Amino acid sequence: MSAEDWELLYQLAAIVGLTVITVITRAFFMIPKNELPLPDWLKRGLKYAPLAALTAVIAPEVLMTQGHLITTLLDARIPALVCATIYYFKKRGILGTIVVGMAVYLPLHIGLGW
């Protein structure tokens, strides 16, 4: 076998191996027929996992620009965040929170260039 054949074989083995690992890890909780017993403390903790993941994704996007914290108040994200937060705590609606945040953000960002 030539070097190119070995390289192709390694690439195929890597693709198949990564596919198998992905399927097993994604389907791990669906494989057993019965529900896996989890301690109560873990069940309580898992309730907060989606919120923690969402915060980890959104916080840097809102509070940072090009890897640095925002140092000016002339950034459209700050007023949008404040307005969306106020709306959420008054109405408790996710869709309205997004609409209010974008309704404040877009005119400031596009119109004023913040």
Tens-digit pLDDT profile for residues 50-71: 889 888 998 898 888 888 888 8
**Is 29 inside any structural domain?**
yes
Evaluate whether residue 83 is within a structural domain.
Answer: no
Q: Which helix (H) or strand (E) holds 72?
A: none
Farthest CA pair distance, the chain: 69
Q: Is the pLDDT of residue 31 over 80?
A: no
Amino acid at the residue 18: L
Determine, yes or no, domain membership for 45.
no
- Domain membership of residue 6 (yes or no) is yes
Range of the domain at 27: 1-37
In a domain, 31, yes or no: yes
- Give residue 9's pLDDT band: very low, low, confident or very high (50, 70, 90): very high
CA distance 30 to 15: 23
The count of domains in the chain is 1
pLDDT band, residue 26 (cuts 50/70/90): confident
Structure tokens at 110: 């596009």
Beta bridge partners of 64: 69
